[in-house]
Amino acid sequence: MNSEHVLTDVHIYRMSLPEHECPWGLKAIALLEDRQIKFEDHRLTTQDDVDDFKIKHDVATTPQIFFGTKRIGGYTDLAKHLGVKPDPTDTSYVPVIAVFGTTLLMALVLNIDVVRLFMGFSICTLAMLKLMDVNAFAASFIKYDLISQRWQLWARIYPGVELLIGLGFLLTPPSPLAGWVALLVGLPGMASVLKAVYVDKLALNCACIGGNSKTPLGIVSFSEYAIQTAMGFLVALHLLG
């Protein structure tokens, strides 16, 4: 059946902030245009617009596509509805492998307190990738992070806090304060990922390696928080030599 006859009165609501254009919104538009489906494009141009829309429709993410008054969902739901198979190029774990592979080699070459150095290097590197485009990171992070959804400033300062945690782990001896901060950050972070992936079943990209990541939210982001939490526990309680 021709999708043009099935899909009428189509509306897409997407985040379009001056500092960040939602990539999933652009993908949804490209898909609709490719299928020659007419639609109305509703751009949410301020963070308040985005927040009000999410509250009104009880959704956690944008874009959201509607057929008349019926909400279909985001890009993934639209693609599924139109029978589009997932594009393997839409996901990639290469940046994650590069980060952890490089930091592990750095720690092994130094051959001093390898576990601590590996974790410290990894956290600092992940923070650096976020700091390269804080706006893009924040826009992606706030979609699933429980703290950011209540205090939006946290999404912007998180990369800096993460960098300080990593540097605190690399100090000799490591800073107990960095350990306690890592615990305070890591535990709710793990809860955020578990809720988004297994409770809300959101199909999102992980913000752990920056806002333009193609890595699916899940084990990678959970591992980032797990590293912070485990290392934070050891440092905070002075369990490292």
Residue 75 has pLDDT above 50, yes or no: yes
- pLDDT, position 88: 57
Collapsing DSSP to helix, strand or coil, 65 comes out as: strand
> What mean pLDDT is predicted for residues 122-148?
89
pLDDT of residue 180: 94
Average pLDDT over residues 58-69: 85
As given in the structure block, the two tokens for residue 3 are 């999708």
Q: Is residue 21 part of a domain?
A: yes
The answer to whether residue 180 sits within a structural domain is: yes
Cis before residue 216, ω within 30 degrees of 0?
A: no
What pLDDT is stored for residue 143 in this prediction?
83
Instruction: Report the amino acid identity of residue 101.
Output: G
Let me know if residue 241 belongs to a domain: no
Final residue of a domain: which of 63, 88, 113?
Answer: 88
DSSP β-bridge partners for residue 11? 40, 66
Can you give the CATH number for the domain in which 76 is found?
3.40.30.10
Report whether pLDDT(6) > 70: no
Is there a single domain that holds both residue 45 and residue 133?
A: no
C-alpha 17, offset from chain centre? 17
Share of residues in the chain with pLDDT > 90 (%): 31
- Which residue, 222, 214, 233, is CA-closest to 145? 222
Residues 104 and 188 grouped into a single domain:
yes
* pLDDT attached to residue 218: 74
Residues 69 and 129 grouped into a single domain: no
Q: What's this model's pTM, rounded to 2 decimal places?
A: 0.71
The pLDDT score that the predictor gives to residue 18 is: 73
Domain of 49, in residue numbers: 6-88
pLDDT of residue 3: 45
Q: Could you tell me if 155 and 232 lie in one domain?
A: yes
User: Model confidence at 1, in pLDDT bands (50, 70, 90)?
Assistant: very low
43-53 burial, b for 16+ CB within 10 Å, e for fewer? ebeeeebbeeb
Q: Is 1 inside any structural domain?
A: no
The pLDDT value given to residue 167: 96
User: Is the pLDDT reported for residue 121 higher than 90?
Assistant: yes
Give the separation between CA 92 and CA 89, rounded to whole angstroms: 7
Q: Is the pLDDT of residue 214 over 60?
A: yes
Number of domains composing the chain: 2
Residue 86 has a pLDDT of 63
108 Cβ contact list (under 8 Å, min separation 6): 114
Distance, in Å, from the CA atom of 17 to the CA atom of 156, rounded to the nearest integer, reads: 15
